[in-house]
Chains A and B, each alone.
Chain A
Amino acid sequence: EVQLLESGGGLVKPGGSLRLSCAASGFNFITYSMTWVRQAPGKGLEWVSFISSRSTQIYYADSVKGRFTISRDNAKNSLYLQMNSLRAEDTAVYYCARGHCTGGTCYSGVDYWGQGTLVTVSS
């Protein structure tokens, strides 16, 4: 069974930093791309960042570029999101999601989601 468990959320002051983690299990992590998606309270889904299976391709939404860094440790089956210079508008539930990959090809979508971790940026 595919499982994605996010952690690291919490309350942080504007300008502060936070590091989110996502522990993956139930699948061969090294063969899948991974993505972070966030959802502000009462709002829709917003794509945040993408990382390919071996970290050769990394992309960010314009809203977080230069402030957030995505990374992964395939030996630990883990995905990370380092968030710096946090703003009030970064307040959201952050979801870790597995890329949709079949037959060695990864597509621009996801097939499994974690339950999310809440990040609140407030003074």
Chain B
Amino acid sequence: DQQVKQNSPSLSVQEGRISILNCDYTNSMFDYFLWYKKYPAEGPTFLISISSIKDKNEDGRFTVFLNKSAKHLSLHIVPSQPGDSAVYFCAASAQGGSEKLVFGKGTKLTVNP
């Protein structure tokens, strides 16, 4: 039972354009969401997070949007750069439980020069 789903295994965009990565979740108890970026043979690197009391959080080129009614969040990267090419993981944690993160399977982003 996959509680966090990233339905696009891969995404390819042109340098300078917008990258939109999507994530859906099923557990209504999730109240904190994070995006991590991962290069091969490295650990995930924290990118940006959002609490369920917000619907948007922005940090430089990265913006995360949360739609609680649809149980959907998205990560926007604009403008996209070749160095953004990596696997992006969406993760969530639930109130009232331990601090464990539930991850999606990831989306491999390729930004072409």
Same assembly: no
